Amino acid sequence: MSGVWIVLEQREGRVGRISWEALAAGQRLAAQFNLAANAVLIGSQTESLAAEVAGKANGKVVRVEHPLLTTYTADGFSLALEQFFRAEAPEYVVFPHTYQVRDYAPALAARLGQVLIGDVTGIGEGPVFIRQLLQGRLNGSYRHTGGGPCFISVQSGAFRAEVIETGGAEVSVFTPAIEAVQIRTKPGEPFRDSAQTVDLGSAAMIVSVGRGIKEAENLPLIQDLATALGAEMAASRPICDNGWLPMERQVGSSGQTVSPKLYIAVGISGAIQHLVGMKGSQCVVAINKDPDAPIFEVADYGIVGDLFEVVPALTEAIKAAKQ
Amino acid sequence: MKIIVAIKQVPERDAQVRIDAAGNWIEETDLQWALNESDAYALEEALQLKEKNGGEVVVVSAGPERVGSTIREALAKGADRAIHIDCDDLNQRDALSVAKLLAEAVKPESPDLVLTGLQSDDLGYGQTGVILAALLELPHASLILHVEKTTTGLHVKRELEEGWFQNIELPTPAVLTIQSGGSKLRYATLMGIKRAKTKEVRRINPAELGVPASAMVALERIAQPQKQKSTQILPGSAKEAAAALVEKLKFEVRVL
Ligand SMILES: Cc1cc2nc3c(=O)[nH]c(=O)nc-3n(C[C@H](O)[C@H](O)[C@H](O)COP(=O)(O)OP(=O)(O)OC[C@H]3O[C@@H](n4cnc5c(N)ncnc54)[C@H](O)[C@@H]3O)c2cc1C
Ligand SMILES: Nc1ncnc2c1ncn2[C@@H]1O[C@H](COP(=O)(O)O)[C@@H](O)[C@H]1O
């Protein structure tokens, strides 16, 4: 057995913030069970990244290196890490919960007869791993009951990225046996769909609307509020999926990240994929008829009520206040 | 093109959920149920592929008796036939165990393409499709918005974080997990609903598939999340709450 292994993700030649959070979570888990905390970097040409990681970890740092790992593919990454973890037999493997990890870690775990406990927001005694159910309305505690390594991925922002170890890890290289024919998919270069014409990132005030609005015909209600405030209009994903507002106005993990002085969320439940896009707002106001909606978790002010009554009243009150 | 779509029945979005007496699942009696959102998009993608390229769309769903209504809905929208894996122990199974059920049901069909939703709205593992690909030893791609058939296989559009996308080429057979929003969903027509009644729904049980209810990972307890931030709830009628909020925006947030 070889302790806790944290798989770090590189993006544009750097280790991303959520990977440092995973490292911190893994190091804490290791400390709890008196295990070594080790890190893995997968790709090609990861020398300088490994040196940076070695400065923040004191277990091992292993570069899983192969020319066929230069570009991410699910086949390449799961094959390489399967070989590596078969050799290492870890107790725990910790990933950042990114789109890339979602794409291959479940298959990697399955190849090893395991199940990933994904999108973990907390670790309790046991250990039990906490993750959200029903789009954040409930929390579930999960326990790994089988033998073999326990795979988890941690949610963005759930663990503080302050690493607890001081550094001085030794760096080594693991070369997996992979052949080009084993990589069955051909990924293309990332692209953006259209030129962005609105910059929500620099907006001072945003009124954001969710599925609570029910029909596209009701959107003028929200537009009136935004106009009265002098705010930009934004939306949760289903509104953009339906084509009611253009995708460039979508806030969240697959849309824009915003940090206005004021963010008013109207009829938005507050799923994590939405919250990651707006948590940085200075003041959050939530208007929702469900007092248990997760959006109230991140709101400074809340109005529990029917948006079709609250929004017009608010628009009037703002207009009056501005006169 | 023979396409299998895995569809899951989940509690309706606005349903009030209560924790059950055992404390490890939700009270299911009196709940309203619906087709999982991303699965609706997976079904839509399959139906469009069939319209363009011909072939057959088969839906597969694992769950108890009640799942039948969601299967009928998929048949009414245009799926040709269905496989219902009859099991009422879904909550005791982890994603691997559910994927094994689906894999055993799918294998004898030898499909060209298997589609799943990206993520279920209740358990939200976001894993079943990717595990299914591993079990079937097929190539896969996740978070897919559009699928096109090419002469050699498939050309798909994958969503990346923060508004980025990527195209991927992959051979068939393959497994794709479908993200919501790629196309406009259709409604079932009256004719479709009528036709659905005569379509084949084959029921099989986990024992016939040789997949016992096992879990490497157990859901032990569920609970209401603890509030982390103290939200100031502004009480009163809509008008009173609006007036109170304007005061806050003026004097505390200072944006008015
Ligand atoms: C990989 C992935 C990426 C995603 N990316 C994003 C993203 O970038 N952005 C995003 O937003 N989502 C994203 N999602 C989707 C996300 O998980 C949620 O499904 C989505 O945010 C829900 O949108 P909503 O809150 O508008 O709708 P719902 O969850 O349906 O919430 C509607 C809310 O309106 C309230 N309501 C209903 N009627 C009224 C009324 N009359 N008055 C007041 N309140 C009312 C309800 O109580 C409820 O809380 C992503 C999901 C996945 C899996
Ligand atoms: N019981 C089930 N029956 C059929 N399909 C399922 C079932 N559970 C999960 N799936 C499929 O797998 C996808 C992802 O589910 P999950 O891994 O639970 O988030 C869903 O969108 C469905 O397409």
What CATH number has the domain bearing residue A232? Answer: 3.40.50.1220
B221 in a structural domain? no
pLDDT the model gives residue A221: 98
* Angle ∠(B79,B96,B119) on CA atoms, nearest 5: 55
The answer to whether residues A121 and A228 belong to one domain is: no
B225 in a structural domain? no
For ligand 2, say whether the CB of B84 is within 6 Å of any of its atoms.
no
Crossing angle of helices B128-136 and A99-111, rounded to 10°: 40
pLDDT tens-digit readout, A102-116:
999 999 999 999 999
Using a CB–CB cutoff of 8 Å, tell me whether B40 touches chain A.
no
Helix ranges (H only) for chain B are 37-53, 67-77, 95-106, 128-136, 190-196, 206-209, 238-251
pLDDT the model gives residue B14: 84
Average pLDDT, chain B: 95
* Number of structural domains in chain B: 2
A191 in a structural domain? no
Residue of A133, A214, A269 best suited for mutating to test ligand 1, as the one with most atoms within 8 Å of CB: A269
The answer to whether residues A21 and A127 belong to one domain is: yes
CATH of the domain at B74: 3.40.50.620
Using a CB–CB cutoff of 8 Å, tell me whether B133 touches chain A.
yes
The answer to whether residues B70 and B155 belong to one domain is: yes
pLDDT the model gives residue B228: 72
| Residue nearest to ligand 2 atom 14, measured at CA | B119
The answer to whether residues A153 and A232 belong to one domain is: no
Ligand 1 centre to CA of A269 (Å) is 5
The answer to whether residues B38 and B160 belong to one domain is: yes
d(CA B17, CA B11) in angstroms, rounded, equals 8
Could A99 and B134 be called an inter-chain contact, meaning their C-beta atoms sit closer than 8 Å?
no
Q: How confident is the model at residue B162 (pLDDT cuts 50, 70, 90)?
A: confident
Could B170 and A189 be called an inter-chain contact, meaning their C-beta atoms sit closer than 8 Å?
no
The answer to whether residues A238 and A114 belong to one domain is: no
For ligand 2, say whether the CB of B61 is within 6 Å of any of its atoms.
yes
Question: Which residues are within 8 A (CB) of A99 and not within 5 positions of it... i.e. 6 or more apart?
Answer: B142, B143, B159, B160, B161
Tell me which chain B residues have a C-beta less than 8 angstroms from the C-beta of A300.
229, 231-232
The answer to whether residues B118 and B163 belong to one domain is: yes
B222 in a structural domain? no
Distance from CA of B198 to the nearest CA of A (A): 32
Distance from CA of A31 to the nearest CA of B (A): 23
pLDDT tens-digit readout, A267-315:
999 999 999 999 999 999 999 999 999 999 999 999 999 999 999 999 9
Which residue range is the domain that position B238 belongs to?
A: 230-256
pLDDT tens-digit readout, A192-238:
877 677 889 999 999 999 999 999 999 999 999 999 999 999 999 99
Q: Can you name the residues that pair with B153 across neighbouring β-strands?
A: B171
For residue B115, report the phi and psi dihedrals to the nearest 5 degrees: -115, 140
| Closest-CA residue of chain B to A295 | B231
Q: Is the peptide bond before A312 cis (omega within 30 degrees of 0)?
A: no
d(CA B200, CA A44) in angstroms, rounded, equals 51
The answer to whether residues A31 and A151 belong to one domain is: yes
Could B217 and A145 be called an inter-chain contact, meaning their C-beta atoms sit closer than 8 Å?
yes
Quick one: average pLDDT of B220-232?
87
pLDDT tens-digit readout, B26-73:
999 889 999 999 999 999 999 999 999 999 999 999 999 999 999 999
Using a CB–CB cutoff of 8 Å, tell me whether A171 touches chain B.
no
d(CA B194, CA B77) in angstroms, rounded, equals 11
A256 in a structural domain? yes
| Residue nearest to ligand 1 atom 53, measured at CA | B119
| Closest-CA residue of chain A to B142 | A103
Across the interface, of A115, A119, A257, the residue whose CB is closest to B217 is A115
Using a CB–CB cutoff of 8 Å, tell me whether B13 touches chain A.
yes
The answer to whether residues B43 and B116 belong to one domain is: yes
Which ligand is nearest the CA of B162, by number? 1
CATH of the domain at A57: 3.40.50.620
Q: How confident is the model at residue B213 (pLDDT cuts 50, 70, 90)?
A: confident
The answer to whether residues B78 and B186 belong to one domain is: yes
Last residue of a domain, which of A182, A210, A230? A182
For ligand 1, say whether the CB of A250 is within 6 Å of any of its atoms.
yes
Which residue range is the domain that position A212 belongs to?
A: 200-322
The answer to whether residues B239 and B195 belong to one domain is: no
pTM for this entry: 0.96
Asked if A135 and A171 count as a contact pair (C-beta separation under 8 A), the reply is no
pLDDT the model gives residue A275: 95
In this structure, chain B runs to a length of 256
pLDDT the model gives residue A1: 64
d(CA B212, CA B151) in angstroms, rounded, equals 40
Which ligand is nearest the CA of A295, by number? 1
The answer to whether residues B33 and B84 belong to one domain is: yes
* Number of structural domains in chain A: 2
Residue A246 confidence (pLDDT) above 80: yes
B36 in a structural domain? yes
* Angle ∠(A259,A262,A264) on CA atoms, nearest 5: 105
Closest CA to B73 of B195, B205, B175: B195
A192 in a structural domain? no
pLDDT tens-digit readout, B201-211:
999 999 999 99
The answer to whether residues B238 and B152 belong to one domain is: no
The answer to whether residues A151 and A29 belong to one domain is: yes
Q: Is the peptide bond before A67 cis (omega within 30 degrees of 0)?
A: no
- Percent of chain B clearing pLDDT 90 (strictly above): 90
B204 in a structural domain? yes
Residue of B10, B142, B158, B179 best suited for mutating to test ligand 1, as the one with most atoms within 8 Å of CB: B179
Q: Say if the ipTM goes beyond 0.85.
A: yes
For ligand 2, say whether the CB of B70 is within 6 Å of any of its atoms.
no
Q: Which amino acid does the sequence have at A315? A: T
Ligand 1 centre to CA of B242 (Å) is 23
Using a CB–CB cutoff of 8 Å, tell me whether B190 touches chain A.
no
The answer to whether residues A94 and A221 belong to one domain is: no
Last residue of a domain, which of A182, A211, A229? A182
A10 in a structural domain? yes
